[in-house]
Amino acid sequence: MAQHTPGPWEAGRNPKGVCSNEWVVRPRGEFPHGAWVADCGYSDEGIANAHLIAAAPDLLGALKLISAMLEGDKGTSGTYYPKFTGTLIEAVTIARKAIAAAEPDAEGRS
């Protein structure tokens, strides 16, 4: 399975963009040149999407770190210590699903 473009990424205006490719996401430091990660258009929603997409590598890194930290906080029985209940366990479950979606296996499965 191919790897995603390494982060960090940044969102910015494409100086030659018109309408559909006015706001793009590229690896940080490659503006105004470089390969695009995403073409987000020119609407307010497209600009907001560009910033969210640009944050994706950092968000993935944070989720992986949180997941690894909590994995180390399991008791000897393999279950989480009592302090990791309810909302936090739900958050870790969502984080792990997001990690799997961002890094599918060789067959493309999350």
DSSP calls for 42-61 = SSHHHHHHHHHHHHHHHHHH
pTM assigned to the model: 0.67
Average pLDDT, the chain: 75
Beta strands in 1-110 (DSSP E): 9-13, 23-27, 38-41
What residues are paired with 12 via a beta bridge?
24
49-70 tens-digit pLDDT = 888 898 898 888 888 877 777 6
Q: Can you give the pLDDT at residue 110?
A: 44
Tokens of 90: 């739900």
CB 50 within 8 A of CB 25: yes
* Between 70 and 42, the higher pLDDT residue: 42
Average pLDDT over residues 14-27: 76
